[in-house]
Amino acid sequence: MKITEKIRTARELYLNRNAELRSDPLISSQLCELSARTEASRRASLESGVAEACRRCDEIEGGSCCGAGIEERYTTELLLINLILGAELPEARYSVEGCYFLHSRGCILFARDILCINYLCSRLQRELRHGDILSLQDATGKEMEAVFVLHNSIRNFLKK
């Protein structure tokens, strides 16, 4: 399924099942957990310098790890999670070279694919202090776990 079809399906599910999903105690709790874990992960990315290095690489050096095609990893459920968390999914790609969800201000998603959360280019692996990498990995590991758990809960809920 193409990304535009996944987005359309996620929007339909959001319109028809959002209230039901939010009222489920398990999913509601997991949404809160994911929000907290995502915030902690993004804070670690800022504190370690990764966010700035990635911005600089994309804007100044002309590179980006968030290339076209990465969006194909996203499932309808993960896109639905983003809608529930308040993300606005785009109608069209911002840049032909970039991921469908990469905008001028960076990734517009709250809940990202595990590859997007976990990836550190070899340059950053060399340049970051060991302690910063460990802190970042701790935070991103918790975020990935929260994404995985919520994704499965929503998938199971929708099968009912």
- Structure-model confidence comparison of residues 95 and 78, the more confident one: 78
- State how far the Cα of 77 lies from the Cα of 152, in Å rounded to an integer: 9
**Mean pLDDT comparison of 56-65, 79-88, 112-121, highest-scoring range:** 79-88
Q: Please write the tens of the pLDDT for every residue from 104-157.
A: 778 899 999 999 999 998 889 999 999 999 999 999 999 999 999 999 999 999
Q: Please write the tens of the pLDDT for every residue from 24-44.
A: 999 999 999 999 999 999 999
Closest CA to 75 of 65, 86, 63, 83: 83
pLDDT of residue 59 exceeding 80, the answer is no
Q: How many residues does the chain have?
A: 160
Contacts (Cβ under 8 Å, ≥6 apart) of 45: 51, 136, 139
Query: How far is CA 10 from each of CA 16, 47, 76, 96, 155, rounded to the nearest angstrom?
Result: 10, 33, 5, 23, 12
Q: What is the pLDDT of residue 42?
A: 92
Domain of 111, in residue numbers: 3-159
Model-level pTM?
A: 0.91
Q: How many domains is the chain built from? A: 1
- State how far the Cα of 31 lies from the Cα of 29, in Å rounded to an integer: 5
pLDDT of residue 55 exceeding 80, the answer is no
Q: What is the pLDDT of residue 112?
A: 95
Closest CA to 56 of 64, 48, 67, 47: 64
Q: Where are the beta strands (DSSP E) in the chain?
A: 102-103, 106-107
DSSP symbol at 24:
S
Q: What is the pLDDT of residue 68?
A: 87
Contacts (Cβ under 8 Å, ≥6 apart) of 122: none
Contacts (Cβ under 8 Å, ≥6 apart) of 7: 79, 89
pLDDT of residue 58 exceeding 80, the answer is no
